[in-house]
Amino acid sequence: MSTALERAEVGTELPPLELAPISRTTLALFGPASGDLNPIHIDLDVARSAGLDDVFAHGMLSMAYLGRLLTGWADQRAIRSYGVRFAAITPVHAQPTCRGRVTAIETVDGERRATLELAVVLADGSTTLTGNAVVSLAPALDPAPASENS
């Protein structure tokens, strides 16, 4: 039986990761966890003094979600590179979906690798984060099946 990684080809879409809307609680908890304590992410007065209507998500939160999409498709040991570009803010209450697509497959140092184009897209269609990754397609690096307790 072949694995998802072995079947990957140019154009393969990763299963989208649809996330819950960004809540104020998520922002309050993520700040200390990430070390980004900028009050613009949790304090409405600070956000408004900066000319914004409301607080917004940390860019690193979107990057973490995109990393979750990636490690749901391939074991983290298979990731050879991962990078992002912050394109727009993610407003509180926005609902992000992480997407990925294989754009190239090549062999490097005897290892079959896929290049992926990645994005975080909101329900209104706006893209807040773009990125790319290179992943080994070695079958031994397929992610282990999730247990029922995870």
Burial class (CB in 10 A: 0-12, 13-18, 19+), 110: exposed
Which tokens is 52 given?
């914004």
* Residue 104 and residue 115 in contact, taking contact as beta carbons nearer than 8 Å: yes
**pTM, whole model, 2 decimals?**
0.86
pLDDT band at residue 20 using 50, 70 and 90 as cut-offs: very high
pLDDT tens by residue, 68-83 = 999 999 999 999 999 9
* Of residues 109, 101, 105, the one with CA closest to residue 132: 101
pLDDT band at residue 150 using 50, 70 and 90 as cut-offs: very low
pLDDT of residue 6: 77
Matching residue, tokens 């893209």:
127
* Residue 138 and residue 5 in contact, taking contact as beta carbons nearer than 8 Å: yes
Torsion sign (Cα): 15, 81, 2, 10: positive
Question: What is d(CA 31, CA 42) in angstroms, rounded to the nearest whole number?
Answer: 9
To the nearest 10 degrees (0 to 180), the angle between helices 59-73 and 24-34 is 90
Burial class (CB in 10 A: 0-12, 13-18, 19+), 141: middle
pLDDT tens by residue, 27-62 = 999 999 998 889 999 999 999 999 999 999 999 999
Q: Look over the chain and give the mean of its residue pLDDT values, rounded to a whole number.
A: 91
- Tally the C-alpha atoms within 13 A of residue 41's C-alpha that lie toward its C-beta: 22
What is the four-CA torsion angle of 10, 15, 75, 36, rounded to 10 degrees? 110
Q: Which residues pair with 102 in a beta bridge?
A: 116
The CATH number of domain 2-136 is 3.10.129.10 = yes
Residue range 95-123: average pLDDT?
97
